[in-house]
A and B are shown apart, each in its own frame.
Chain A
Amino acid sequence: GIQVEQSPPDLILQEGANSTLRCNFSDSVNNLQWFHQNPWGQLINLFYIPSGTKQNGRLSATTVATERYSLLYISSSQTTDSGVYFCAVRGAGSYQLTFGKGTKLSVIP
C-alpha cells in the first residue's frame, strides 16, 4: 500500500516562531488532508489539498502531487497550535486514508 512519511517527528517552537511540516508519499494520490489533533484527542480537519496551495489564517498548505509531497506552514505560532499534526492520503482506487505517524508540535510561551 501507499506509504506516508512525516517530518520532523517532534518539534518545539517558541511562541511567535514559524515552522514547516513535511509529508512525503510513495504513490499518486486522489486525496490529501492535513489534520490537527489537539490535546483532548479531537482530530480537526485543517486542509483538503490533493494539489495546489491553500491558506487559512496563519496556516497554509502546499501539495506538489507530481513530486509526491505536501508542506504545512504555521506562521506566528501560538500555544494553542500545540498537538499532533497528521498528513493522510488516499491512493487511486482506494476507499481509505492512510495516515502518517504525525508531527508532535509543542509551542512554548
Chain B
Amino acid sequence: SQTIHQWPATLVQPVGSPLSLECTVEGTSNPNLYWYRQAAGRGLQLLFYSVGIGQISSEVPQNLSASRPQDRQFILSSKKLLLSDSGFYLCAWRLGGHNSPLHFGNGTRLTVT
C-alpha cells in the first residue's frame, strides 16, 4: 500500500534562515505531488504541484520554491524565511490521471520567529 512521509513534524526557525521540508511517497510510481499551506484559520492554499521529475508549477508567487529531484520526492525550500511563512505545510499525492483521490501527509508546523 502507498504511504507518504513528511518531516519534520514541527520546526521553529528565525527570520532570514533557510528552509527545507521533505516529502516522500512509497508504494507507487509517477505520482502527482502537491504542497499546501494552511495559515491561521482554516483555509488550505495550494503552493506547488508537480506531475513529474523536474516539473514544478507554482500557484502563488512567494518566498518559497519547490523541487522534485526524484520521482517520489518533493522538497519545499526557502532561502530566507519571513514571519509570514509561518503556518502548517502539508504534502499530498495522488495517482496521475484525473480521477483519483488526494492523500495527505501529517504536515509540518513551521513557526518563524
Contacts and interface: CB of A to CB of B under 8 A. Distances in A.
17 contacts: A31-B99, A31-B100, A33-B102, A40-B106, A41-B107, A42-B104, A42-B106, A43-B107, A45-B103, A84-B42, A88-B44, A95-B32, A96-B34, A97-B46, A99-B43, A101-B42, A102-B43
A96 B106 CA distance: 19
Given A95-B49, A96-B34, A33 B43 contact: no
Interface of B: 32, 34, 38, 42-44, 46, 49, 51, 57, 59, 88, 90, 98-104, 106-107, 109
A109 to B, nearest CB: 24
B93 to A, nearest CB: 11
Interface of A: 30-31, 33, 35, 40-43, 45, 48, 50, 84, 86, 88, 90, 95-97, 99, 101-102, 104
A88 B102 contact: yes
